[in-house]
């Protein structure tokens, strides 16, 4: 897994090449809404993309991380179905319902039943490299989702350049990213991580939490400012032992939210001394997003090292799937 994280920048380039070489047909339809279906390592891409297109996409975008799609889905809905294996049962269920409702469907997968069906029905699709864990293919999934939105004319193509620029930001700051991630990992140990992000980075917070869950075999949670100021901040009174807080900050954060973060740290600083601020670098939302995602990936593998666990192992998930199949 550490080797995969070390190839983070190369993945961006490879993903951009895949979408550049792909050919879609009949992309001039008009839509009322967008639905992105996917779970786990495939689904988190949709969560991050939802934040990235918030200020540009003119129609509602909804996520489906379940067996059942929303009632609004019809022939004027663009449904993006993402399953790395192509066999995720919840996603296959949602896909079949969307197909029955005659939605426009575009598929992202490396194989399995999903890709086979997409080819058979001549659906637009993007094929990912096979043989990896879904969480290791985040850059591919995310860039493919963005590409589908662009190919259907729902967003501009400026994001391609921004992803390319993010590569240089990451290369220039790799030493800094890894050094800070290792520092926090050594402090985290068996403590529970509490992750706070700014509005616009909720998907990033969830991605980092999931990486800590899967790679580090660590429980924790993520929340967003300003939302956490209206509820969670009151919870910082009891059961606060053994918590470590990481605030993910950006140079362009909204002034009032920046103030909220500083005041919040005063409040929960009475209950824990383990508070870290991780500042991203970059000139765009995408550059800052990729910086923080890369930081979270390194943090998760470093914590795995500190705990002496195998970052690549996912036996319990396989056990769950086997029991469901009985």
User: Could you tell me the domains of the chain?
Assistant: 2-156 (3.40.50.10490), 166-307 (3.40.50.10490)
Regions of the chain with pLDDT less than 70:
none
State how far the Cα of 110 lies from the Cα of 222, in Å rounded to an integer: 29
Q: In terms of C-beta density within 10 A (0-12 exposed, 13-18 middle, 19 or more buried), how is residue 132 classed?
A: middle
pTM (2 decimals)? 0.94
Q: Which run of H or E residues covers position 64? A: strand 61-64
pLDDT for residue 110 = 94
3-state secondary structure 94-141: HHHHHHHCCCEEEEEECCHHHHHHHHHCCCEEEECCCCCCHHHHHHHH
Q: Each residue of 173-209: b (16+ CB within 10 Å) or e? A: beeebbebbbebbeebeebbbbbbbbebbbbbbbbbb
Cβ atoms 163, 288 nearer than 8 A? no
> What is the per-residue pLDDT for 323?
81
């Amino acid at each position: 897994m550490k080797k995969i994280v070390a190839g983070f920048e190369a993945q961006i380039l490879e993903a951009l090449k895949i979408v550049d070489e792909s050919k879609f047909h009949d992309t001039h339809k008009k839509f009322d809404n967008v639905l992105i279906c996917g779970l786990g390592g495939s689904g988190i891409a949709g969560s991050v993309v939802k934040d990235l297109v918030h200020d540009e996409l003119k129609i509602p975008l909804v996520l489906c991380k379940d067996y059942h799609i929303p009632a609004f889905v019809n022939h004027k809905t663009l449904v993006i179905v993402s399953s790395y294996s192509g066999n995720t049962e919840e996603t296959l269920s949602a896909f079949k319902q969307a197909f029955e409702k005659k939605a426009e469907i575009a598929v992202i997968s490396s194989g399995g039943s999903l890709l086979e069906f997409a080819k058979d029905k001549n659906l637009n699709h993007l094929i990912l490299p096979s043989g990896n864990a879904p969480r290791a293919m985040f850059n591919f999934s995310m860039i493919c989702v963005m590409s589908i939105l662009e190919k259907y004319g729902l967003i501009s193509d400026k994001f391609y350049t921004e992803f390319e620029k993010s590569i240089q930001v990451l290369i220039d700051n790799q030493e800094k990213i890894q050094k800070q991630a290792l520092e926090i990992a050594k402090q985290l140990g068996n403590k529970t991580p509490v992750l706070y992000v700014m509005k616009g980075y909720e998907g990033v917070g969830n991605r980092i939490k999931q990486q800590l869950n899967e790679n580090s075999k660590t429980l924790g949670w993520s929340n967003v400012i300003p939302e956490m100021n209206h509820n969670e901040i009151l919870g910082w009174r009891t059961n606060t032992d053994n918590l470590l807080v990481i605030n993910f900050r950006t140079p362009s954060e909204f002034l009032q939210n920046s103030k909220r973060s500083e005041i919040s740290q005063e409040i929960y600083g009475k209950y824990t001394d383990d508070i870290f601020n991780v500042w991203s670098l970059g000139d765009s939302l995408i550059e800052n997003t990729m910086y923080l995602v890369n930081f979270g990936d390194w943090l998760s593998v470093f914590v795995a090292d500190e705990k002496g666990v195998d970052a690549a192992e996912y036996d319990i998930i396989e056990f769950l799937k086997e029991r469901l199949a009985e």
